[in-house]
């Protein structure tokens, strides 16, 4: 069972639909006990950094997420679900993220002249040998929707994209994985990424 964490800030139905399309047993849950009993978890997200953290804490999910990651079971953050794994964001000064990884979220530079938010398809430069990207073509295209991006401080970056800056588009530290883009909106490439994630349950990774 894969739990999709509901904290009032997620694009839950599209993630659930994509997982069911590839044959996964999944559930949407806001319950800490149900989360901890799951074999894997997905943390989606649409909205602001500070509001998301307020909702997680209000629902008593902050410590259970830490406990789940510490258990070694596969965990995938998507979009805002990547950003709140880190410490701080320019979007919400003073707000504290989950702090599971070291880094900060900064606004895409207006000086680039590119449209903000970054909406649409963009290619990835992938780190070789990453299990989440097995079977993908070189420089695959995925779908982004965001105005802020990650600057990681750890050696966790597994994919980058270019959009007025070098975006740290995906990360992994052991069983903890996340992507700034939306695999559930990224066609065949995104479904392959979700299949790779689901395969980690079977392998016990």
Active site (catalytic) residues = 79, 182, 184
| Crossing angle between the packed helical segments 12-21 and 187-203, to the nearest 10 degrees | 70
Helices and strands (H, E) in the chain, number of each type: 6, 13
Residues 6+ apart with CB under 8 A from 152: 86, 101, 102, 103, 168, 171
What number of other Cβ atoms are within 10 A of residue 72's Cβ?
A: 12
Residue 129 burial by Cβ neighbours in a 10 Å radius (0-12, 13-18, 19+): exposed
How far apart (Å, rounded) are the C-alpha atoms in residues 22 and 177? 19
How far apart (Å, rounded) are the C-alpha atoms in residues 169 and 162? 9
H helix runs in 59-161, sequence order: 62-70, 80-83
How far apart (Å, rounded) are the C-alpha atoms in residues 87 and 96? 6
Closest-CA residue to 6 (of 27, 36, 37, 33):
27
């Amino acid at each position: 069972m894969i739990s999709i964490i509901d904290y009032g800030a997620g694009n839950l139905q599209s993630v659930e639909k994509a997982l069911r399309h590839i044959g996964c047993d999944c559930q949407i849950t806001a319950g800490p006990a149900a989360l901890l009993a799951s074999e894997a978890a997905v943390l989606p997200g649409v909205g602001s950094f500070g509001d998301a953290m307020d909702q997680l804490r209000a629902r008593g999910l902050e410590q259970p997420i830490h406990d789940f990651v510490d258990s070694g079971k596969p965990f995938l953050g998507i979009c805002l679900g990547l950003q709140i794994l880190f410490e701080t964001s320019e979007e919400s000064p003073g707000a504290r993220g989950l702090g599971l990884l070291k880094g900060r979220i900064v606004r895409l530079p207006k000086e680039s002249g590119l449209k903000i938010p970054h909406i649409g398809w963009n290619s990835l430069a992938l780190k070789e040998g990453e299990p989440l990207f097995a079977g993908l073509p070189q420089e695959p295209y995925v779908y982004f929707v965001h105005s802020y991006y990650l600057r990681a401080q750890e050696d966790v970056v597994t994919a980058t994209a270019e959009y007025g800056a070098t975006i740290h588009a995906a990360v992994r530290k052991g069983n903890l994985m996340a992507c700034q883009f939306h695999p559930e909106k990224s066609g065949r490439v995104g479904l392959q990424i979700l299949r790779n994630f689901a395969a980690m349950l079977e392998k016990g990774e």
